[in-house]
């Protein structure tokens, strides 16, 4: 496949990009930090056996800033041009802060709300148009189990992910018949730089564990995948808990 990945230089996104590169897919990393992009592209080239200086570039990058919607269309156009086509777009990028940090800093809260909801959806709309141009493809986007239920520790972050999940569900309903497969990934707690310093709960996952699930979901076109899979059962229980129970627990 020819794949553009927004957020593929860190954490779960990096694990996904490495797994795709190792099996022979061509990758265009999208991001705003050129040094990180260059380093990650070099890593992918080595992992896929295309790291020799004389070898033509198999993995490339393009500038894209999730905080700047003006960069979305140009980045995707460049990815299509440099890969000579586009089969899939993967979105792993997002902002995170604890509920306490967000309540203490309204500016930070506003930034998170805009980036994780409005701007992520705007990027997905641009990706949708790009993929439909050539008859379809796969749009794989990371949401979160935090959006499954209103929960005290993740009120604002969870609200952005709840809205994103509903958008992706609607997109899949409307466009799958036209060849656009929308895959929503719902990770639970995963040990990455984003969660560094937080106490891992039971069932905490590792990036490579998540990457395996993501690649399988992309290949099968599965509309929703939980990672690690145990979170599907955990959130099934949480969704059915009465409100008076949710008010008493700190989950």
* Residue of 92, 85, 81 whose CA lies nearest to 8: 92
Write out pLDDT tens, residues 25-71: 999 999 999 999 999 999 999 988 865 544 446 799 999 999 999 99
Burial 213-227 (b: 16+ CB within 10 A, else e): bbbebbeeeeebbbb
pLDDT higher than 70, residue 15: yes
Domain interval for residue 221: 2-248
Retrieve residue 14's tokens: 């990096």
Residues 13, 8: Cα–Cα separation, whole Å: 4
* Residue of 216, 82, 230, 247 whose CA lies nearest to 151: 247
pLDDT higher than 90, residue 198: no
Q: In which band, very low, low, confident or very high, does the pLDDT at 194 lie, cut at 50, 70 and 90?
A: low
* Cα angle, residue 154 at apex, residues 148 and 158 outer, rounded to 5°: 40
Q: At 60, which helix (H) or strand (E)?
A: strand 60-63
Q: In which band, very low, low, confident or very high, does the pLDDT at 251 lie, cut at 50, 70 and 90?
A: confident
Expressed in percent and rounded to 5, the helix, strand and coil fractions of the chain are 55, 15, 30
Q: In which band, very low, low, confident or very high, does the pLDDT at 201 lie, cut at 50, 70 and 90?
A: low
Q: What pLDDT score does 41 carry? A: 95
Domain of residue 106, CATH code = 3.40.50.720
Number of structural domains the chain divides into: 1
Q: What pLDDT score does 207 carry? A: 84
3-state secondary structure 191-205: CCHHHCCCCCCCCCE
What is the mean predicted confidence (pLDDT) over 177-181? Answer: 97
Whole-structure pTM value: 0.93
High-pLDDT (> 90) share of the chain, %: 83
Write out pLDDT tens, residues 123-151: 999 999 999 999 999 999 999 999 999 99
């Amino acid at each position: 496949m020819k794949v553009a990945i927004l957020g593929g230089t860190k954490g779960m996104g990096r694990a996904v990009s490495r797994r795709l590169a190792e099996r022979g897919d061509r990758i265009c990393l999208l991001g705003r930090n050129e040094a990180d992009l260059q380093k990650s592209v070099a890593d992918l080239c080595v992992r896929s056996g295309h790291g020799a200086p004389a070898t033509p570039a198999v993995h490339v990058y393009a500038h894209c800033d999730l905080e700047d919607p003006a960069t979305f269309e140009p980045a995707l156009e460049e990815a299509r041009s440099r890969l000579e086509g586009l089969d899939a777009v993967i979105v792993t990028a997002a902002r995170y802060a604890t509920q306490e940090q967000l309540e203490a800093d309204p500016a930070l809260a506003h930034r998170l709300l805009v980036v994780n909801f409005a701007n992520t959806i705007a990027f997905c709309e641009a990706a949708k148009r790009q993929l439909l141009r050539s008859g379809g493809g796969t749009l794989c986007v990371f949401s979160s189990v935090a959006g499954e239920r209103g929960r005290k520790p993740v009120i604002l972050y969870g609200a952005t992910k709840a809205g994103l999940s509903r958008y992706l569900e609607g997109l899949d309903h409307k466009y799958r018949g036209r060849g656009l497969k929308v895959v929503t990934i719902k990770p639970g707690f995963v040990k990455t730089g984003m969660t560094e310093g937080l106490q891992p709960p039971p069932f905490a996952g590792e990036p490579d564990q998540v990457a395996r699930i993501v690649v399988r979901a992309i290949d099968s076109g599965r509309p929703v995948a939980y990672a690690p899979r145990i979170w599907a059962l955990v959130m099934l229980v949480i969704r059915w808990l009465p409100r008076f129970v949710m008010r008493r627990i700190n989950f």
